[in-house]
Amino acid sequence: MTIDEKYKKRVLIADDDPVSRRVLEDVLAKWGYETITAADGLEALRILQNANAPRLAVLDWMMPGMGGPQVCQRMREHPDWPYVYFLLLIARNQKADLLRCVEFGVDDYLTKPFDSQELRDRLRVGQRILDLQESLAQAHEELRFRATHDLLTGIANRGVVLDALNREHSRQKREGGSFGIILLDLDHFKYVNDTRGHLCGDAVLREITRRIIASIRPYDTAGRYGGEQFLIVAPMSGELGTLAVAERIRTSIESLPVETESGPVAVTVSSGVAASQGESPLEPHALIHRADDALYRAKNRGRNRSELATQPQATLTPSQ
């Protein structure tokens, strides 16, 4: 998540001495910082736990209720919270306690009375550290996305959707119930690539992905299974419920041509639907095999249709 520039210029000042707080407020205001103040450690901790809390904090070492190091320690106990850069103000006779700062997770310190230029430099260092933290977080998120998503369509990749299938299988063995899968394949997609080009084919895949996601339930998982095939895992759904999801997807895709730079492209899809239900859960590979057989049957019966694996006669076809 990108740090808003205005949050980079916000500083929490926590000091039980009102004169010291006012001096810090005036100095930081001259440098363009927006300040929020607290009179003790407990108040500082409450402020820092808010969603839009400052990311820079200047805390006095000794305060009523909770000192600066303890505030830092409490915040560091939650690594999922946004990182706060802590600068502690200490008296000269407290230097022997500085080694404890490392244990508490404090970033830096200044002795009182502080030099204003040194304080400014330390805050600039803090801002650079926060920028680095943000860059690392963005890089980590990009790597995570690349590892879990199909880069062309943005949908979950094969590994993620198969993980969802395995999780549903494990849940069913523990708790019972049912779940279904849909193996979906674009009809005549090779013809689109051969006649319109691969850029057009890529545009079609992206739009089909968008319609699939818009048609499934919030707790379903859809992923690109390979090429022009998609796999959808439908938790807590039996054969007919999963078939209904497949039909919702099919009609959404059939209803409107896909607009591309080379003109509109009419697209249809065929689906094989299988469900694991009852007291004998199907293994994931067996479920996929049944869905694949049903998909093969849908293709042979004219395409643009959804077929049930276990009940071939329960078929929904396009309205004439």
State the catalytic residues: 228
Q: Which two tokens stand for residue 245?
A: 């999801």
* Residue 47: partners with Cβ closer than 8 Å, 6 or more residues away: 12, 36, 38, 53, 54
Structure tokens given for 236: 């807590």
Distance between CA atoms of residues 42 and 120, nearest Å: 26
For 318, the token pair is 């396009």
In the chain, count H helices and then E strands: 11, 12
- Name the residue with tokens 């062309």: 152
Cα 191 to chain centroid, rounded? 36
Query: What CA–CA distance (Å, rounded) separates 18 from 6?
Result: 25
Q: How far apart are CA 132 and CA 109, in angstroms?
A: 20
76 in helix, strand or coil? Answer: helix
**C-alpha torsion sign, points 247, 184, 306, 169:** negative
Alpha helices by DSSP H, listed for the chain, are: 5-8, 18-30, 41-48, 68-76, 99-104, 116-148, 158-175, 189-196, 198-215, 239-255, 284-300
Please provide residue 295's backbone torsions phi and psi, each rounded to the nearest 5 degrees.
Answer: -65, -45
Residue 89 backbone dihedrals phi, psi, to 5 degrees: -105, 125
Quickly count: other Cβ atoms within 10 Å of residue 90's Cβ.
Answer: 21
